């Protein structure tokens, strides 16, 4: 199994009535699902919702006791398709995946689900990966809710509100026969806190029970003429039912005085930032009591017209705090005011930036600017003084250096790209594309290999335009996670079908490493609940790839170089695929370090390989660094006045993978690298030999020192 245990988190799922849960927001959602009687859960891992999938994957015993079906889906589309179980059966189902990229992949299934409508509650938990902590392109999931007309929740970022939104999401879904998307931002997923737990609830109708009494309804099939009726049902029945539930159950919240000349409308997820800005302006306290009225949209779609107009009564201006672009909410609220003939002025983008994360400083400046313009009399005198400057966050860019993302120390993917650089030195530069995953770091220095990425599993497909029989073959990289997610059909199958002559390299590190180290079909370890040990090479041959090369140790840079050269120069006509396999070093260390430390503590003999650089041999050329880039390989300034250039040096983070030495050998660099085995708990003979060796070395050093000329007294 993947080399991580979530035993402690799984135990939190057993908490019942009278207990208190303490932890992260995403884990609170996991517990809330069981309290709400969920019948099945699926999803695809990825920040910031990975822990939800990881914990449920390790909680098979707990789920089995409740009759809950869990599936680690092959993709977001497969997860969303699971929700079909709630179309005909009154079973609550939930799926989860990462932000807009996940919704992109799942959009077809979600659109069909929303068209047909559902009987049981259907909840889509989306980890909104937007802002400065994001790892993807900057887009919002809001547009998908509007396009397919399923309701969108954006709860206030505290555990009680997040947990409550899970229950309300299911209830809203059932009341309106519409799937509901629960959006949790990066900070909501990782915010810590506590909430009072309830007993877990076994679903009234489990998926196993439903199998014995199959149901079908011709009217829910998404085909003409039913699909035309679905659209009318959305507008005439489901939408009014949703608005009625939102108002009656007060899903949206209002804080502050009832009568005031101005107000702020905000997404629920922005509540903490708004309150903090008001605190800094002296208009709110640490408990959230505010002098400025707030209309908190825990439901950001649909917008409830009557509720919003009631909030605007008696006000001259309102500020809309909506992070990201386009400004869907501001446009919708502006339309409501216009159609109602309201004189209330609406502010938003302009005072607040159109794009980018609304950090604390951005929020402070925007709200202060709005109040200075619309209601300066409510601000403290110092704030409206002509020469007053708003407090700013300190600039740490000059003290904290930029640190671009990179491969981990000892990563087995680094030698693959070192080999590619060596091949390009021989054959010239090639057209290279990357894919989503750790290997995408190769586009950065020192490798600078690959310059585009179009989606998970689409690395080879994104090179299809260059497969026109040119002088050089195009090269593409794809990870094992992307291979099983989408790559086998959309990339490899596409190459076979179109008789591609290009080269694809499958970077196989045994896990879906970029999403947290989860097991996949080709993982080497046994997994009690999943089918592993399915070789990628077999799948390639099964879809028609006849030229396949398997490399089982990527640290052998010479072999990697030779195989890549062969792929680029062979006369074989058709797709050429290299499967480059070595275990993810991070997961390997997670497994081996505890065992090694245990052995050392028990007094057993343990050898730990370490590498170093001989300072006397190193020339200071630094070609090893340019071909490796390992974080443990750095520079060291010598005290020798005759040597100005720093030499290479290996620090204490070295894991002994040997890549630096392999690169030096393959590239015919200087032989300055050496290996030293650190022996813990050595035997008596080893200790005696080490002592004798130290004495001999000391004697030789003293003897050599005695032959040197001494100019100290000159």
Read off the pLDDT of residues 347-397 as tens digits, 9 standing for 90 and up.
999 999 999 899 989 999 999 999 999 998 888 776 666 666 777 777 777
Distance CA 238, CA 207 (A): 25
* Torsion angle defined by CA atoms of residues 36, 37, 42 and 43, in that order, rounded to the nearest 10 degrees: 0
CATH class of 7-248: alpha beta
**Residue range 173-181: average pLDDT?**
97
Domain boundaries, the chain: 7-248, 253-384, 414-587, 605-705
Structure confidence at residue 713 (pLDDT): 61
Q: What is the largest CA-CA distance in the chain?
A: 106
Q: Say how far apart CA 627 and CA 619 lie, in whole Å.
A: 16
Q: How many CB atoms sit inside 10 A of residue 231's CB? A: 11
pLDDT higher than threshold 80 for residue 667: no
Contact 47, 74 (CB under 8 A): no
In the predicted structure, residue 714 carries a pLDDT above the cut 60: no
- pLDDT tier at 271 (50, 70, 90 boundaries)? very high
Angle at 341 between CA 336 and CA 345, to 5 degrees: 70
Query: Which CA distances in Å does 613 have to 326, 624, 661, 673?
Result: 54, 11, 10, 5
**Residues near 620 by Cβ (< 8 Å), separated by ≥ 6?**
643, 645, 646, 647, 648
What gap in Å lies between CA 32 and CA 182, rounded to an integer? 13
Instruction: Provide mean pLDDT across the span 31-57.
Output: 92
576 phi and psi angles, rounded to 5 deg: -125, 120
Tell me the per-residue pLDDT of 277-297, one tens digit each, with 9 for 90 and over.
999 999 999 899 999 999 999
Using CA atoms, how far residue 186 sits from 145, 269, 494, 633, 705, in Å, is: 19, 10, 35, 33, 62
Instruction: Tell me how far apart the alpha carbons of residues 156 and 605 are, in angstroms, rounded to a whole number.
Output: 54
> Residue 381: what pLDDT?
72
Q: What is the pLDDT of residue 187?
A: 85
Backbone angles phi, psi at 361, to 5 degrees: -70, -40
Pairing between strand 93-98 and 69-72? Answer: unpaired
Number of Cβ within a 10 Å radius of residue 156: 22
pLDDT at 155 over 70: yes
Confirm whether 7-248 and 253-384 share one CATH topology: yes
- The confidence band for 471, taking pLDDT boundaries of 50, 70 and 90, is confident
Protein fold of 605-705: Alpha-Beta Plaits (3.30.70)
Distance CA 455, CA 465 (A): 16
d(CA 86, CA 680): 58
Percent of the chain with pLDDT over 70: 96
Residue 142: per-residue pLDDT: 92
Query: What are the tens digits of pLDDT across the range 404-452?
Result: 778 888 999 999 999 999 999 999 999 999 998 888 888 888 888 888 8
Cα–Cα distances (Å) from 615 to 30, 625, 639, in that order, read 54, 15, 11
Q: Which of 54-58, 327-331, 575-579, 654-658 has the lowest mean pLDDT?
A: 654-658
**Residues 116-136 pLDDT 10s:** 999 999 999 999 888 777 777
Mean pLDDT of 261-281: 96
CATH of 414-587, one of 3.40.50.970, 3.30.2130.10, 3.30.1490.100, 3.30.1360.20: 3.40.50.970
- Residue scoring higher pLDDT (327 or 649): 327
Whole-number average pLDDT of the chain: 90
Confidence (pTM): 0.89
Percent of the chain with pLDDT over 90: 63
Rg (the chain; Cα; Å): 30
CATH topology of domain 253-384: Rossmann fold (3.40.50)
The stretch 6-33 carries a mean pLDDT of 92
pLDDT for 1 = 53
pLDDT band for position 619 (cuts 50, 70, 90) = confident
């Amino acid at each position: 199994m993947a080399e991580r245990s979530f035993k402690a988190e799984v135990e939190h799922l057993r908490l019942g009535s009278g207990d208190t849960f303490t932890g992260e927001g995403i884990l609170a959602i996991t517990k809330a699902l069981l309290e709400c009687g969920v019948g099945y859960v699926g999803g695809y891992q990825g920040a910031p919702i990975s822990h939800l999938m990881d914990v449920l994957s390790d909680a098979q015993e707990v789920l089995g006791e409740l009759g809950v079906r869990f599936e680690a889906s092959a993709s977001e589309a497969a997860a969303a398709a699971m929700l079909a179980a709630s179309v005909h059966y009154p079973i609550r189902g939930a799926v989860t995946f990462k932000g807009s990229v996940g919704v992109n992949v799942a959009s077809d299934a979600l659109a069909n689900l929303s068209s047909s409508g559902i009987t049981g509650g259907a909840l889509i938990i989306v980890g909104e990966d937007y802002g400065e902590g994001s790892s993807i392109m900057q887009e919002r999931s809001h547009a998908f809710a509007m396009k397919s007309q399923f309701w969108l929740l954006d709860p206030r970022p505290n555990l009680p509100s997040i947990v409550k939104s899970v229950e309300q999401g299911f209830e809203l879904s059932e009341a309106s026969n519409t799937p509901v998307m629960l959006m949790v931002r990066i900070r909501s997923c990782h915010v810590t806190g506590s909430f009072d737990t309830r007993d877990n609830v076994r679903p009234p109708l489990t998926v196993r029970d439903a199998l014995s009494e199959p149901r079908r309804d011709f009217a829910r099939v998404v085909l003409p003429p039913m699909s035309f009726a679905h659209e009318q049902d959305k507008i005439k029945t489901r939408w009014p039912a949703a608005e009625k539930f939102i108002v009656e159950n007060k899903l949206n919240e209002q804080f502050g005085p009832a009568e005031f000349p101005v107000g702020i409308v905000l997404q629920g997820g922005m509540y903490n930032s708004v309150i903090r800005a008001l605190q800094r302006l002296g208009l709110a306290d640490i408990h959230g009591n505010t002098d400025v009225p707030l209309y908190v949209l825990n439901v950001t779609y649909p917008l409830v017209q009557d509720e919003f107009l009631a909030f605007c009564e008696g006000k001259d201006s309102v500020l809309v705090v909506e992070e990201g672009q386009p400004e869907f909410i501001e446009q919708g609220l502006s339309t409501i005011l216009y159609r109602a003939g309201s004189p209330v002025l609406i502010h938003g983008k302009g005072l607040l930036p159109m794009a980018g994360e609304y950090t604390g400083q951005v929020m402070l400046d925007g709200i202060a600017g709005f109040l200075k313009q619309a209601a300066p009399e409510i601000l403290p005198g110092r704030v409206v003084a002509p020469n007053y400057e708003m407090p700013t966050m300190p600039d740490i860019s000059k003290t904290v250096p930029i640190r671009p993302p990179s491969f981990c120390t000892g990563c087995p993917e680094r030698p693959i790209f070192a080999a590619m650089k060596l091949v390009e030195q021989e054959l010239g530069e090639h057209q290279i594309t990357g894919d989503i995953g750790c290997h995408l770091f190769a586009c950065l220095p020192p490798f600078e290999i690959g310059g585009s990425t179009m989606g998970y599993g689409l690395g080879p497909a994104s090179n299809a335009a260059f497969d026109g029989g040119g002088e050089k073959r195009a090269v593409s990289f794809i990870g094992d996670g992307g291979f099983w997610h989408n790559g086998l059909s959309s990339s490899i199958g596409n190459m076979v079908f179109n008789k591609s002559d290009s080269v694809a390299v499958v970077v196989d590190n045994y896990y879906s490493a970029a999403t947290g180290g989860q097991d996949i079909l080709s993982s080497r370890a046994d997994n009690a609940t999943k089918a592993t040990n399915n070789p990628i090479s077999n799948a390639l041959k099964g879809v028609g790839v006849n030229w396949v090369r398997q490399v089982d140790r990527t640290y052998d840079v010479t072999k990697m170089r030779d195989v890549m050269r062969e792929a680029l120069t062979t006369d074989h006509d058709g797709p050429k695929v290299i499967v480059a396999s070595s275990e993810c070093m991070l997961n390997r260390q997670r497994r081996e370090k505890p065992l090694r430390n245990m052995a050392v503590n028990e007094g057993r003999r343990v050898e730990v390989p370490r590498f170093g650089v001989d300072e006397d041999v190193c020339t200071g050329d630094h070609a090893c660094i340019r071909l490796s880039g390992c974080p443990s390989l750095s520079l060291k300034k010598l005290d020798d006045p005759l040597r100005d250039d720093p030499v290479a040096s290996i620090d204490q983070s070295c894991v002994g993978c040997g890549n630096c030495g392999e690169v030096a050998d393959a590239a015919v660099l200087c032989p300055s690298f050496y290996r030293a085995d650190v022996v813990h708990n050595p035997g008596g003979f080893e200790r005696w030999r080490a002592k004798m060796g130290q004495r001999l070395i000391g004697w030789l050093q003293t003897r050599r020192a005695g032959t040197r000329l001494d100019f100290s007294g000159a």
